[in-house]
Amino acid sequence: MTYYDYSEDSSLHAVVCLDPRDPAGVARTSQAWLKQGWDGLFGEVSRAVAAKNPDVAASLIVCATERDPIRAVRRSDARWATALNKIHENPVLVQAAADAEEKKLSYAHVRLGVSRVLDNNPWVRLVTRAMLGTAFDPAVEYDRWVDFLARVLADADPAYGEVSHDGGNDSSTELDKALRRDRNVSVEQSRQLLRGYSWVTVVPQELVHRLGGADVIEASGAVEEVRRLRAGGVLLRATRTPEEFDDAAMRRLFGLLAPVLPPGQPRDLPGWPTSHRVVYEDASIYH
C-alpha cells in the first residue's frame, strides 16, 4: 500500500446534515452527492481513473451495518454501481476516494462519503474532502464547489451544511468545538439553532424564516452570494474565495446569523494548537 503525505497541503472540506424526515429524498440526495461529486466536481480525477492512469488510485468502502469492518477495496465500475444502490438500504458508510501521485492534477486526494450517525441514529452526513494539487485553478474550482452544493441540495431541504478551507470536521463544527457543544445535540437541534458558519454556509428554511427571509438576508450585504434552494433553505457564500474569508468577513457573517446561533461564550480547547475560526462572542446577546 502507498501512503501519501498531505500534512502541508491546502484543502477544502464540505459537510451537509440531512434529517430522516424523508428517507427516499435522503437516498436520492445521497446518491447525487456521490455521483455528481465523482463525475462533476472531481471529473478530472474520475476521468484519470477511467483511463487507468497508473498515477491515480481509487478505492471504495461500503459498511452496511455498524458490525461491518471498515475495509477499502479497489474501485471498479461494478463495485461503484453496487455501492450507489446500497444507499437505499441506509448503510453506515459509503465512501469513494482517490489519490493522485505527485499531486499533478487539480486535486491530490479526494474523498466523497455518505455516512449515518452511529448508534442507530437515522441522521445522515454527506462529506467531501479534497487536498489541492498543483493544477488547482481557484478561478474555476471555487465556483465549482459552490455550484456542486447548490445543485445537489436544491431539492434536499438540508438541515445544515458548510464548506471550509484548510480545516473542517466530519462530525463537529468549529462552533460546536468552541462552545463544547455535544455533536449529537447539535445535529438533533439543526433546525432550531444553526450549527455553525464558514466560508459557505447552508441555512435550513426554518432559520431562514427567523432571519426575515432570503430577501432580507440578501439585502443585508453581509455575504457575497445568496442562493435559494428550491425545497427550502439558502446557501450563503461569505466571500468570493475562502482566502478572502478573513476576520472582518467572518464578523459580518456572524452578525447576520447571530440571532439563530446557539448561546454561549466560545473558548479554545486546552492543548488545541490554533484558535477556532469563530467570533469569540456570545451570540445570545443578539437573540
Q: How far apart are CA 32 and CA 197, in angstroms?
A: 24
Phi, psi (rounded to 5 degrees) for 195: -70, -20
pLDDT of residue 2 exceeding 70 = no
Q: For residue 272, name the pLDDT band (cuts at 50, 70, 90).
A: low
Q: Exposed (0-12), middle (13-18) or buried (19+): which is 148, by Cβ within 10 Å?
A: buried
pLDDT score for 88:
92
Q: Exposed (0-12), middle (13-18) or buried (19+): which is 8, by Cβ within 10 Å?
A: exposed
- Residue 254's nearest CA partner among 241, 245, 243 is 245
pLDDT of residue 122 exceeding 90 = no
Question: Assign residue 5 a region: left if phi > 0, alpha if psi is -120 to 50, beta otherwise?
Answer: beta
Average pLDDT over residues 193-198: 98
pLDDT of residue 274 exceeding 80 = no
For the stretch 234-262, pLDDT in tens is 999 999 999 999 999 999 999 999 999 99
Give the cell for residue 266: 466560545
Q: For residue 6, name the pLDDT band (cuts at 50, 70, 90).
A: very low
Q: Cell match 458548510: residue? A: 162
For the stretch 133-169, pLDDT in tens is 999 999 999 999 999 999 999 999 999 999 999 877 7
Say which residue, 223 or 20, is predicted with more confidence: 223
Which of 102-106, 249-253, 282-286 has the weakest average pLDDT? 102-106
pLDDT of residue 118 exceeding 60 = yes
pLDDT score for 1:
38
pTM for this predicted structure: 0.93
Q: For residue 120, name the pLDDT band (cuts at 50, 70, 90).
A: low
Q: How far are the Cα atoms of 34, 94, 128, 252 from residue 81, in angstroms, in the given order?
A: 11, 12, 19, 44
Question: Assign residue 274 a region: left if phi > 0, alpha if psi is -120 to 50, beta otherwise?
Answer: beta
pLDDT score for 119:
62
- DSSP character string of 136-202: --HHHHHHHHHHHHHHHHTTT--SEEEEEES---SS--HHHHHTT--HHHHHHTTTTS-----SEEE
pLDDT score for 167:
77
Q: How far are the Cα atoms of 17, 63, 100 from residue 203, in angstroms, in the given order?
A: 11, 30, 34
**DSSP β-bridge partners for residue 227:** 235
User: What sign does the dihedral 240-272-267-194 (CA atoms) show?
Assistant: positive
